[in-house]
Amino acid sequence: MPRPIEALVHTAALAHNLAVARRLAGDARVWAVVKANAYGHGIERVFGALKAADGFALLDLAEAERIRACGWRGPVLLLEGCFEPRDLELCSRLGLWHVVHAAEQIDWLAAHKTHEPHRVFLKMNSGMNRLGFAPQAFRGAYARLNALPQVGEVSLMTHFSDADAPRGIAHQIAAFSAATADLDGERSLSNSAAVLRHGGTPGLHNDWVRAGILGYGSAPDFPEHDIAHWCLKPTMTLQTRLIATQALQRGDTVGYGSRFTAERPMRIGIAACGYADGYPRHCGSGTPVLVDGRRTGTVGRVSMDMLAVDLSDCPGAGVGSLVTLWGHGPGGAVLAIDEVAHAAGTIGYELMCALAQRVPVRTVD
């Protein structure tokens, strides 16, 4: 028998969340961001549910080939553009649009032989200080690109550092707008947090929004807001079963390092899920978990293949009981991945991307 752990990818929830993005995006077109193997869900698994998007934005050529192999003929955007000159050959062959964030990428384009001019998204560093041309260098890059026969349409983009946080996006919009006011081209500025929180901000104009995490049912600004607030649904469930129970006496400890000590007699269950499955080791006792749909908490340290859960309020639970680590539980119960991430001092993105290879994945409606 295989271990009872499995992950579920919920296609109806993916489609629902995409519809939320589309509604909030207004007239803008929506990139479904499927980098990092669709945030750990699997590009091929999410494709059917997300093909109502206007395009797919992703990281590298391997992912682009996979989305084309799914049968997608529409726009595909490489979010970091090319990593070396020969990447341009595949861009030409697969009709990929690509970000241009550095002068070297323009040099490569200038030396590239292609029949079809490329569509590029010129990226401004408006304050994130990660990728992109500084505002004062942006117009020069724009002019260079427009002069190249290898380049067709030039679109303009930037990326927000604080769309989910108090600092917000106004300072970056100001930098972007000042440097691009009279430049032709479609604009793409907003990520999920900007779509959710900053629609209608003066000066924010998107022809394309880039919706990543919201599509996967995680709130970028948790705990300020949760997915219920944003009307999003979890798209990934991690579930397993209890494989043992233990009756503890007062003073008994649980797991490596004896991090938990029972203050009274209590029952715990041992679930077949550990950090080697992608469950975070850095969450302390009390991290929320569902047992047969009932909310309880973890107990002690997470080990490689197992973790312990408190069964004090789950009298009917025993070996075989369903344990939902995140996502959808029985009876309509929901445990947002953000709650688990928060308990581990991280974000939903990291947990979904870190789902381990060894966990079998099933696609459900």
Ligand X SMILES: Cc1ncc(COP(=O)(O)O)c(C=O)c1O
351 binds ligand X (CB under 6 A): no
Tokens standing for residue 224: 């300020």
185 binds ligand X (CB under 6 A): no
212 binds ligand X (CB under 6 A): yes
39, 46 Cβ separation under 8 angstroms: no
118 binds ligand X (CB under 6 A): no
Which residue in the set 5, 145, 213, 232 belongs to the binding site for ligand X (CB under 6 A)? 213
Which residue in the set 211, 238, 243, 302 belongs to the binding site for ligand X (CB under 6 A)? 211
Tokens standing for residue 181: 């006011």
51 catalytic residue (yes or no): no
302 binds ligand X (CB under 6 A): no
120 binds ligand X (CB under 6 A): no
Question: Could you write out the three-class secondary structure of 319-339?
Answer: CCCEEEEEEECHHHCEECHHH
- Residue 8 vs residues 120, 220, 326, 338, 355: alpha-carbon distances, Å: 36, 21, 10, 17, 11
220 binds ligand X (CB under 6 A): yes
**Among 177-185, 191-199, 248-256, 330-338, the segment contacting ligand X (CB under 6 A):** 191-199
Closest CA to 321 of 332, 310, 335: 310
198 binds ligand X (CB under 6 A): no
Instruction: Give the span between the Cα atoms of 73 and 67, in whole angstroms.
Output: 9
By beta-carbon proximity to ligand X, the closer residue of 160 and 275 is 160
Q: Contact letters (x/-) for ligand X, 260-289, by CB under 6 A?
A: ------------------------------
159 binds ligand X (CB under 6 A): yes
279 catalytic residue (yes or no): no
Closest CA to 148 of 174, 123, 180, 114: 114
Q: In whole angstroms, how close is the CB of 231 to ligand X at the nearest point?
A: 16
Instruction: Give the span between the Cα atoms of 300 and 303, in whole angstroms.
Output: 9
Please pick, among 39, 256, 275, 279, the residue that the annotation labels catalytic: 256
Q: In whole angstroms, how close is the CB of 213 to ligand X at the nearest point?
A: 4
Residue type, 330: P
# of chain residues touching ligand X (CB under 6 A): 11
Which residue shows structure tokens 């789950």? 314
**Among 13-21, 210-218, 242-250, 299-307, the segment contacting ligand X (CB under 6 A):** 210-218
Pairing status of strand 334-335 against strand 260-261: unpaired
Beta bridge partners of 151: 118
Tokens standing for residue 241: 């079963």
By beta-carbon proximity to ligand X, the closer residue of 254 and 340 is 340
Neighbour-count burial of 150, counting CB atoms closer than 10 A to its CB (0-12 exposed, 13-18 middle, 19+ buried): buried
Q: Contact letters (x/-) for ligand X, 68-107, by CB under 6 A?
A: -----------x----------------------------
192 binds ligand X (CB under 6 A): yes
210 binds ligand X (CB under 6 A): yes
List, in sequence order, the alpha helices (H) in the chain.
11-25, 35-39, 43-50, 61-69, 87-94, 103-110, 135-147, 170-180, 192-197, 337-343, 348-353
Q: In whole angstroms, how close is the CB of 112 to ligand X at the nearest point?
A: 23
Q: In whole angstroms, how close is the CB of 312 to ligand X at the nearest point?
A: 37
Q: In whole angstroms, how close is the CB of 60 to ligand X at the nearest point?
A: 13
Please pick, among 35, 123, 142, 275, the residue that the annotation labels catalytic: 35
191 binds ligand X (CB under 6 A): yes
Beta bridge partners of 296: 289
Catalytic residues: 35, 256
Using CB under 6 A as the criterion, which residues of the chain lie in contact with ligand X when the complex forms?
33, 79, 159, 191-193, 210-213, 220
